[in-house]
Amino acid sequence: MKQTGRSQEKIVKQVRKLLEERGRKALEMARKEALGEEIECKEVREALKYFMTQYWHDRTSPTLLSLACEAVNGDLDIIATLAKPIILIGGAVDIHDDIIDQSQRKDQRPTVYGKFGQPIALLVGDALLLKGFSLLYETCRYISSDKMALIVSTLKNLFFELGDAEALELKFQMRRDVKPEEYLYVVEKKAADLEGLMRIGAIIGNGSKEEIEMLGRYGRMLGMLSILRDDFIDMNYFEEIAHRIAYECLPLPILYALEDPKAKPQICNILSKKKLTRKDARLLSEIVENADGFGQMKEKMKELIATGKTNLRNIKHCRKALISLVDFMLQEVN
């Protein structure tokens, strides 16, 4: 059923409120921890402050941990404490990804790499990793050894899978022959982080094995939806699509459109230009639209949404909030 503009707006407001209410406290705590370290180097200190106060607004991690814990009727008291290290570790991974992708700007803002250069960005990323794992170790005093072992194992597995996905995606750079199925395989692996968050939240909440598995699968679908949503958004911003064409893998709508024999020569002609213009980007978007590239991506997202909701069928708590998150992922695409 097609959503009305009013219902779409309602979902967006619900999700924004959810992220603010469940994520703000943990994010503020993580910022305080990161900025509380004594750093003599002025450049590193400024870069860290910029990242933590102006750039990194990760309310998603604590929100998902909280929802997964409550979904299994768990105690939420420990969630903010556990979310702090995960927010910092996630920030470190994001900085390192920007270095790999040579992303000087993202979401219309300078990245740490773009604003302070590669050496400083590397050092800030390393500092956040060290601080994050140090805080994770301190969390052991609040969590049983069995649970902590399972949480650490889950974190290790998800970061290895995420890193593997990033390495596989490097092979797609500037290629015009990547099949949608190849890309979606890597997208599924990159979604390991959200699966991990849902699993960890359910573990903290004493969820059953079945509940942990269901929420984990839901997280995987949510992660894939988030990545595909970003693909669509990138198509609508000149700086983002120009960078994707020059340095990264092409967004999924273009990969679908390249399957069209009529559209492929037109697309390749634009992609082969040494410098992309805004006019080229608009024309590219039109060609992709006419080749049903956007339509095919929307259908894939709808499949993922249906799968994500199916995995919530036996979850008794927080179902409405969890469903609103997957519905939200389609809003920018409609």
- Give the tokens for residue 43: 């450049």
- Give the tokens for residue 45: 């200190």
Nearest to 43 by CA among 128, 127, 116: 116
- Give the tokens for residue 140: 């052991």
204 part of a folded domain? yes
Res 242 pLDDT > 50:
yes
334 part of a folded domain? no
Res 238 pLDDT > 70:
yes
Handedness of CA 264, 265, 268, 270 (dihedral sign): negative
CA-to-CA distance for 51 and 58, rounded, in angstroms?
11
In the prediction, which pLDDT does 334 show? 62
333 part of a folded domain? no
Nearest to 284 by CA among 244, 259, 261, 257: 257
Res 131 pLDDT > 70:
yes
- Give the tokens for residue 161: 């899978």
Which strand (E) or helix (H) includes residue 105? strand 105-106
Task: Kindly report the backbone phi and psi dihedral angles of residue 105, in degrees, each rounded to the nearest multiple of 5, phi listed first.
Answer: -140, 145
CA-to-CA distance for 307 and 318, rounded, in angstroms?
17
User: Residue written as tokens 């979606």?
Assistant: 184
In the prediction, which pLDDT does 269 show? 95
The mean of the pLDDT values for the chain is: 92
170 part of a folded domain? yes
In the prediction, which pLDDT does 4 show? 55
Range of the domain at 288: 5-328
Q: How many residues are given for the chain?
A: 334
In the prediction, which pLDDT does 332 show? 65
Res 141 pLDDT > 90:
no
- Give the tokens for residue 189: 């692996």
In the prediction, which pLDDT does 47 show? 97
Q: What is the mean pLDDT of residues 145-165?
A: 91
- Give the tokens for residue 191: 């979604």
Answer whether 176's CB lies under 8 Å from 65's CB: no
Within 10 Å of residue 231's Cβ, how many Cβ atoms? 24
User: Residue written as tokens 């470190």?
Assistant: 92
Q: What is the mean pLDDT of residues 164-168?
A: 94
In the prediction, which pLDDT does 9 show? 80
Q: Could you give the C-alpha distances from 273 to 58, 78, 179, 242, 266, in angstroms and in order? A: 36, 53, 22, 11, 12
Q: What angle do CA 41, 96, 92 make, to 5 degrees?
A: 70
Q: What is the mean pLDDT of residues 243-254?
A: 94
- Give the tokens for residue 305: 């949404």
- Residues 9-20 pLDDT 10s: 888 888 889 899
Confidence of residue 29 (pLDDT cuts 50, 70, 90): very high
In the prediction, which pLDDT does 174 show? 81
Number of domains in the chain: 1
Confidence of residue 5 (pLDDT cuts 50, 70, 90): low
Res 253 pLDDT > 70:
yes
CA-to-CA distance for 312 and 320, rounded, in angstroms?
10
Res 1 pLDDT > 50:
no
Map residue 38 onto helix, strand or coil: coil
DSSP code string of 49-92: HHIIIII----HHHHHHHHHHHHTT---TTHHHHHHHHHHHHHH
In the prediction, which pLDDT does 14 show? 85
CATH code of the domain containing 134: 1.10.600.10
In the prediction, which pLDDT does 299 show? 96
273 part of a folded domain? yes
- Give the tokens for residue 94: 């994001």
